Amino acid sequence: MTQTAIPYLFMRGGTSRGPYFRREDLPEDLDTLAKVLVAALGSGHSLNIDGIGGGAAVTTKVAMLSESDDDWADVDYFFAQVSVEDSTVDFKPTCGNILSGVGPAAIELGLVPATDTVTELRIRAVNTGARVTAQVQTPGGQLTFDGETEIAGVPGASAPIALNFMGVVGSSTGALLPTGNVRDLIDGIEVTCMDVAMPLVIARAEDFGLTGYEGAAELDDNTAFFARMEAVRIKAGALMGMGDVSKSVTPKFGLLAPARDGGSIAVRYFMPWKTHPTMAVTGAQCLASCALTPGSVAEGMLARPNENPARLVLEHASGTIEVLVDFSMDDGFALNSAGLVRTARKLADGHVYVPASVWAGQGDRK
C-alpha cells in the first residue's frame, strides 16, 4: 500500500471545521503525529490543495478524542492547530469552537452513549487542562443537528450545544495576569496580558489608530498595523513567561472598543497573523474577563454589570457572541466559570489518506 487510511469524522464545530479522530488511530509520537496531520490537511500550500484543509486557520484545526482516564471527565480532547502554509503544527493551544463538536463527535465515535433528550458530557481539554461540560441534543437517545439556534459566521440554524468552561484561568501560563500587572506599556501601547482559556495580549483599538469596528478584510490589508501588533505580541509573550513566541500562535491578540450596536463591548481577535473572521470561543472568555477586570485596558468601556453571572455580548467582525461569566470581586477579578452556546454539524465521515512514507500505519500505532 502506498497510502495509509485513517478513519475520521469531518465536522463543523462553532465557526471552525476540521477532522475529528480517535486518538488511538494516530501515531503516539508527536513528531510523527505532526507529519501525519500536515499531510492530511495539506499544509504547505495556500489552498491546502493536497489535503482536506480549507486554506484558512479556522479550517485547518484537528480534534483527537479518547476515553478519559481522569476521574472527572468522560472524554479527553487533544487539539492541534495546523498551519495553512508553513507545514507546522502547534499543540500548545486549545480551540473552543472545535470543542463545540467534541460532544457530537464523541457520540458518533462510540466514546459516550447518548441519553434521552439531552446528553451531558464532561470534557477534559488535554492541551490546557480545562474542564468543560457540554450539553448535546439527543431526543429519544438519537443525536440530532437540527434546531433553531443561529450563531454569527455560520449560515442557517442548528441544534444548540451549551458549553460551560471551568478551570481556565492561567491554563497556559499559570496566572490570570502572567506579567503580574493589570497593564503593561510595550512600544508605547498599553496592553493587558491575560490568560483565561487562551493567553491574550489585549489593547485598545484607538491606540493603534483604529476604530475597532473595521472588518476582517480591512484589517488584514493593514500591513503596518500587523507589523506593529506583532512586535508588541512578541515582547508581551516574553513578559508572560512564554519565551520566544515569534513562531507560535499563542499568545493571541485582541483589540477593544466601546460597543456601537447594542452589545457590551466591541472586539477584534487575531490568530495572530490574520484577523479571525468571527470570534474564538476561548478568546471570547478572555476578552469578557478583561472587560470585567478593574484597571484593565477595557476600563471605562463597559458599565459594571449589576448581575452575577454577567451576560456580556461581544460585538465581533461578523456579528455577536454572548458569554455568561460567573465571577467574584472579593480580591480583584476572579473567574468561576464561563458559558456559551454554540452549534456543530457532521459534514462527512470515512477515511483520510496520507502517504505511507509519512506513516505506515498499524505497526507504528499506539
With 50 as the cut, is the pLDDT of residue 19 above it?
A: yes
With 90 as the cut, is the pLDDT of residue 303 above it?
A: no
For residues 176 and 333, is the Cβ–Cβ distance under 8 A?
A: yes
For residues 77 and 102, is the Cβ–Cβ distance under 8 A?
A: yes
Helix, strand, coil % in the chain, rounded to nearest 5: 20, 35, 45
With 50 as the cut, is the pLDDT of residue 364 above it?
A: no
Name which of 147, 65, 73, 71 is nearest 108 in CA terms. Answer: 65
Give the per-residue pLDDT at 305.
Answer: 65
Judged by DSSP in three states, 235 sits in helix
Poorest-confidence range of 57-61, 126-130, 252-256, 301-305? 301-305
With 90 as the cut, is the pLDDT of residue 330 above it?
A: no
| Local confidence band at 365 (pLDDT 50, 70, 90 cut-offs) | very low
The continuous run of DSSP H or E covering 292 comes out as helix 281-292
**Phi, psi torsion values for 163, nearest 5 degrees:** -115, 140
**DSSP strand E in 143-296: where?**
161-166, 184-186, 189-196, 198-204, 252-257, 265-270
Name which of 205, 203, 204 is nearest 251 in CA terms. Answer: 203
Give the per-residue pLDDT at 363.
Answer: 56
For residues 226 and 173, is the Cβ–Cβ distance under 8 A?
A: no
Q: Is the peptide bond before 199 cis (omega within 30 degrees of 0)?
A: no
Name which of 91, 84, 95 is nearest 50 in CA terms. Answer: 84
Per-residue pLDDT tens over the stretch 85-119: 999 999 999 999 999 999 999 999 999 999 999 99
With 50 as the cut, is the pLDDT of residue 259 above it?
A: yes
**Phi, psi torsion values for 87, nearest 5 degrees:** 55, 40
Judged by DSSP in three states, 188 sits in coil
Query: Which residue has 460567573 as its cell numbers?
Result: 326
Give the per-residue pLDDT at 366.
Answer: 39
Give the per-residue pLDDT at 333.
Answer: 87
